[in-house]
Amino acid sequence: MSEVDEKLINNKIKSEVKKYETLKKSFLKLYESEKKASKSRLESFDKINTIQEFDNPELKEIYTLFETEMKSLENFREAHLQKIMNLILPVTDYYPEKLKKSKKSLEDFVKVRKNKMNLEKSRNNVKNEDVSKVQEINSELVKSRNEVRNRGEIIENDLVRFESERVDDNKCLFLHFIHSELKYHAACLEKLSKLFHDIKEKEPLEEIEKFVNKLNIKIDLKDLGIDMSKIKQEKENRENNQENEIDEVYGEDNDDDLTKSKKKSQLKESNNSEMMNTAAIGSQNEI
């Protein structure tokens, strides 16, 4: 093995050790960052829930349930991230230690190679007349050359094996982390979509009378442009239309209550899906 190869291998070892030290610090920093972000989100949920108006208990109940589910999701995510970190950190420690052993092997190889060179010099300095000495040096030189070759092959094989294992393990670690993040954000999207649907169904003006009565406010709602009779009629029409849509879609009037309830849920889910698509398109347009 040439001197240049030794330098290249030595630089490779130093570079990889430094990379794993940086990788470990980056994952720890990312983990701490995610913990802080999670804590901040939970605090924000608490604040939002705190300011829900007392005159709309249904809305508060909807959001309280959402907040409880999100807290559970955040706790699950933190536990999952901790498990992943328990996988990542030992790996970031294992490979630098393995590389340091390779470095020790490289140092031993250099010593053996120097010994071979010294034997070659000694043989050149010995007079040909001293046959026994020449034979002794030649015997040692053959052993030394074989040892140099064997140690060089071991180092090269160790580095190739290291590279193969490193790529495979790094791939596995990053996939674990990415999968955890995707699963978390998909669950968040699912819960936020449900919250969107639940809030969207609420009609604030339908609760205005309760609010006025609670505070004993004497006010004519018509002066504010609020026609309660029209609002109530629209609500009743919506409920009737939803019932009629079931018969129109399925064409069956003789279903029992349970069957109609299931169909109503299916229709409602379909309508919600269309509403979310519309909302998504609107968001894209805003961007």
Pick one of 1.10.10.10, 1.20.1270.60, 1.10.3720.10, 3.40.50.1010 as the CATH number of 3-202: 1.20.1270.60
The structure tokens listed for 94 are 């294992």
Residue type, 220: D
Q: pLDDT tens, 92-104?
A: 888 888 888 888 8
Q: pLDDT tens, 111-120?
A: 888 888 888 8
The least confident of 162-166, 173-177, 179-183, 281-285 is: 281-285
- Cβ contacts of residue 77 below 8 Å, gap of 6+? 38, 180, 184
Under the banding of pLDDT at 50, 70 and 90, the label for residue 282 is very low
Contact assessment for residue 168 and residue 154, using Cβ atoms and an 8 Å cutoff? no
- Give mean pLDDT, residues 68-87: 87
Cα 190 from Cα 72, distance rounded (Å): 14
Q: pLDDT tens, 207-228?
A: 677 777 777 777 777 777 777 7
Q: Is 2 helix (H, G, I), strand (E, B) or coil?
A: coil
Burial of 269: CB neighbours in 10 Å, binned 0-12, 13-18, 19+: exposed
Q: pLDDT tens, 131-148?
A: 777 778 788 888 888 888
**Alpha helix locations (H) across 51-130?**
57-125
To the nearest whole number, what is the mean pLDDT of the chain?
Answer: 76
- The residue extents of the domains of the chain are 3-202, 219-287
